[in-house]
Amino acid sequence: MVDISALASALASLKAAKDIGEAMIGLRDAAAFQAKLLEFQSKLIDANNAAFAAQDERVALLERVSALEKEIARLSAWEEDKERYELKEVGSGAFAYVLKANEATGTGEPIHWLCANCYQQGKKRLLQTHGRDMSFQYYQCQDCSGKIMIRHPPTPPPQTQMQRR
């Protein structure tokens, strides 16, 4: 929406220029004519500046609308994608968002785990294997560095679950 005051200012300047132009027609004195000509040019410049300001504001508003439309599209896509996951205990009291089995079957996508912290922030970040020792398997988020550890025998890792199908 263009600022009405910028348009009103442009119109007022143009009206003043018109009035000055009409006054110039009746002048015979060169000095008075020059003074009116300068005033006329000043009003035209004011009108031009107001028009440019309105155009700049219009461009800024169009850019903002475009950015908001992109954000709405991103959020809508995330809302749709996050329905494909469910929060599950993956072992030893550790929780992750896990791709639903019916989603993996339909797409051929392997079962995988998402970081619960990143998921709550609207980000889809995979938990990756980050090591193992005699008692635990470790997983880490590459974005927020969140870690979970699962006591052996853990819930089978995502790749093993997919291979069993």
> Is the predicted pLDDT of residue 157 greater than 70, yes or no?
no
The predicted structure's pLDDT at residue 13: 80
* pLDDT over 90 percentage in the chain: 44
84 membership: H or E segment, kind and range: none
Nearest to 90 by CA among 118, 121, 143, 129: 129
Domain boundaries along the sequence of the chain? 4-81, 84-163
**For residue 139, what are the β-bridge partners?**
129, 148
The predicted structure's pLDDT at residue 153: 57
Segment 12-34 shows an average pLDDT of 76
Q: Is the pTM of this model over 0.75?
A: no
Residue 133 confidence class, pLDDT cut points 50, 70, 90 = confident
Report residue 2 as tokens.
Answer: 């263009």
- Give residue for tokens 């089978």: 156
What span, in angstroms and rounded, lies between the C-alpha atoms of 41 and 109? 70
Long-range pairs of 74-83 with CB within 8 A, sequence gap ≥ 24:
75/122, 78/122, 78/124, 81/124, 82/119, 82/124
CB 104 within 8 A of CB 111: yes
Residue 2 confidence class, pLDDT cut points 50, 70, 90 = low
> Is the predicted pLDDT of residue 160 greater than 60, yes or no?
no
